[in-house]
């Protein structure tokens, strides 16, 4: 009887939202591991090829559906997941936090973003999956394919920035807006990578799942540090 009572006391101290986020992180990591396993065994080829070719004009793999206007739009969207845009955006938010006197939050954010970038590069090096060769690439690429660095870093950066900014605003609608906008941007970047033929769809799925798990883990750590007075307290609403 002692063990169930201990578990009950522990769960009573943990907020429902925290439990939900932990479960989502676990689910995202489980999905990432599943994608890795399927990718290594070669079971994703049919799935990847079917989606990649569905975005091409039938009988002409060199021509993406939608025409030149859509291709231009996709190149613009894919730039939102590039190192230049993400770095400028991160530096802008860091400057904002510093101007507001949130030095601990700024430092924590910088470590979180850099950590996500290192994680992305590490997995790319580990798996070294070749880029798709079924269609011409719509933009230049130089690194390995799995997981998609643009998709992962878009999820890491935009979602991490969103949750950190949301902590400073007490209005629920504003918080929902931040997170929703971040999710939309991450999704758009991932779709653009497949459309431009530089990533297999499973690369993008892996980038999304790992990036989302990292961003949510950052949020959990931020709450833990906040309760210990290590970073600025979250604004209530």
Q: Are 138 and 197 in contact (CB under 8 A)?
A: yes
Task: Please tell me the distance from the alpha carbon of residue 196 to that of residue 153, in angstroms, as a whole number.
Answer: 18
Task: Please tell me the distance from the alpha carbon of residue 158 to that of residue 70, in angstroms, as a whole number.
Answer: 23
Q: What angle do CA 83, 156, 10 make, to 5 degrees?
A: 160
**Omega of the bond prior to 82 within 30 degrees of 0, cis?**
no
Q: What angle do CA 52, 53, 59 make, to 5 degrees?
A: 160
Identified catalytic residue from 121, 137, 150, 171: 150
Is 150 one of the catalytic residues?
yes
Q: Are 4 and 209 in contact (CB under 8 A)?
A: no
Q: Are 55 and 195 in contact (CB under 8 A)?
A: yes
Is 171 one of the catalytic residues?
no
Please give the positions annotated as active site: 150, 199
């Amino acid at each position: 009887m002692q063990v169930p009572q201990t578990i009950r006391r522990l769960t009573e101290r943990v907020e429902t939202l925290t439990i939900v986020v932990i479960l989502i992180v676990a689910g995202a990591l489980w999905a990432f591991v599943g994608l890795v396993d399927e990718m290594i065994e070669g079971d994703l080829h049919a799935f990847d090829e079917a989606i990649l070719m569905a975005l091409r004009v039938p009988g002409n793999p060199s021509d993406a559906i939608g025409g030149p206007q859509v291709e231009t739009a996709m190149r613009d969207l894919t730039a939102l997941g590039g190192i230049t845009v993400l770095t400028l955006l991160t530096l802008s938010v860091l400057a904002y936090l510093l101007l507001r006197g949130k030095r601990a939050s700024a430092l924590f954010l910088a470590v979180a973003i850099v950590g996500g970038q290192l994680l992305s590069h590490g997995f790319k090096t580990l798996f070294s999956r070749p880029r798709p060769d079924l269609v011409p690439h719509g933009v230049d690429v130089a690194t390995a394919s799995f997981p998609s660095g643009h998709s992962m870093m878009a999820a890491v950066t935009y979602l991490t920035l969103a949750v950190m900014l949301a902590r400073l605003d007490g209005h629920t609608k504003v918080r929902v807006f931040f997170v929703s906008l971040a999710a939309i941007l991450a999704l758009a970047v991932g779709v653009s990578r497949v459309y431009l033929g530089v990533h297999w769809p499973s690369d993008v799925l892996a980038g999304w799942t790992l990036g989302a798990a990292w961003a949510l883990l950052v949020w959990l750590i931020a709450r833990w540090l906040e309760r210990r007075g290590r970073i600025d307290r979250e604004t209530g609403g």
